[in-house]
Amino acid sequence: MIHLQYFARFREQLGTEAESLPWKPTLSSLRDVRDLLIARGAPWAATLGHAGLMCARNQELCSLDEPLLDGDDIAFFPPVTGG
For 19-56, the pLDDT digits (tens) are 999 999 999 999 999 999 999 999 999 999 988 899 99
Q: 65, 30 in Cβ contact below 8 A?
A: yes
- The CA distance from 80 to 69, in Å, is 26
Q: Is residue 82 part of a domain?
A: no
Closest of 52, 71, 49 to residue 63, by C-alpha: 52
| 71 pLDDT more than 90 | yes
Q: Which amino acid is at 46?
A: A
Q: Given this model, what pLDDT does residue 82 score?
A: 57
- Other CB atoms closer than 10 Å to residue 32's CB: what's the count? 15
Closest of 53, 4, 59, 61 to residue 27, by C-alpha: 4
- Please give the tally of structural domains in the chain: 1
Q: Given this model, what pLDDT does residue 83 score?
A: 53
Looking at residue 65, which CATH number applies to its domain? 3.10.20.30
Q: 1, 71 in Cβ contact below 8 A?
A: yes
The residue range of the domain holding 54 is: 2-77
